[in-house]
Amino acid sequence: MNRDRGRLRLGAQGGYTVVEMIITMALTTIVSGAVFSSFLILDRIQTAWEQRDQARAVGVLAEQSILRDVQAYDVVTPVAGSNTLKLEGVSTGQNPKFTVTYFLQPSGGGTSVLKRVAGLALPTTVAHGVQSIEAKCSGNTLTLVMKVDAISIRSKAEQVVVNPVLTLTPRNGTCPP
């Protein structure tokens, strides 16, 4: 009889079986994997937004330089599709007119740089990573659409349009014919 009591006592002790432990570990692995993958996706989304915001900030800084010049000089040639904007100063007598030109210069790795030439000076860099500038002049409104690279370590470069699009009235009040 003592033996039967000992066996009953051993059989009554609580614990997990090997099958229960394996099932618990498998479920924990599945849930942990799902949670971890969601964190990775959220990290990628946040990184992409940060890169786009950074690209837009570069574009806005470039637009400030163009804005300052458009308010100071007359718009001469916003050539659609040429990535060039030419501005001229007011002529004083027989002197040639002072010109300011914005253009894109290709650089290594498929990127380009927005450059500014004032008069006969050497070109100066306005912004890196600008892929296109499109200046449209209609009536008394100059519209400038700029696309900038949002550089990513994880994926290929993506072009971001600088928002809001720069819309202003040129110094001479109207666009050239």
The arithmetic mean of pLDDT across residues 157-168, rounded, is: 77
Residue 109 covered by a domain: yes
pLDDT of amino acid 25? 94
User: What residues contact 88, with CB distance under 8 A and at least 6 apart?
Assistant: 73, 74, 76, 97, 98, 99, 100
Q: Tell me how many domains the chain contains.
A: 1
pLDDT, averaged across the chain: 79
pLDDT of amino acid 23? 94
Residue 9 covered by a domain: no
Residue 174 covered by a domain: no
Looking at mean pLDDT, say which of 25-29, 121-125, 132-136 comes out highest: 25-29
Burial environment of residue 87 by CB neighbours within 10 A (0 to 12, 13 to 18, 19 or more) = buried
What is the domain range of residue 51? Answer: 32-168
Looking at mean pLDDT, say which of 23-27, 89-93, 104-108 comes out highest: 23-27
pLDDT of amino acid 31? 93
Residue 18 covered by a domain: no
Residue 24 covered by a domain: no
Residue 14 covered by a domain: no
**Interval 35-61: pLDDT, tens:** 999 988 888 888 877 877 777 788 888
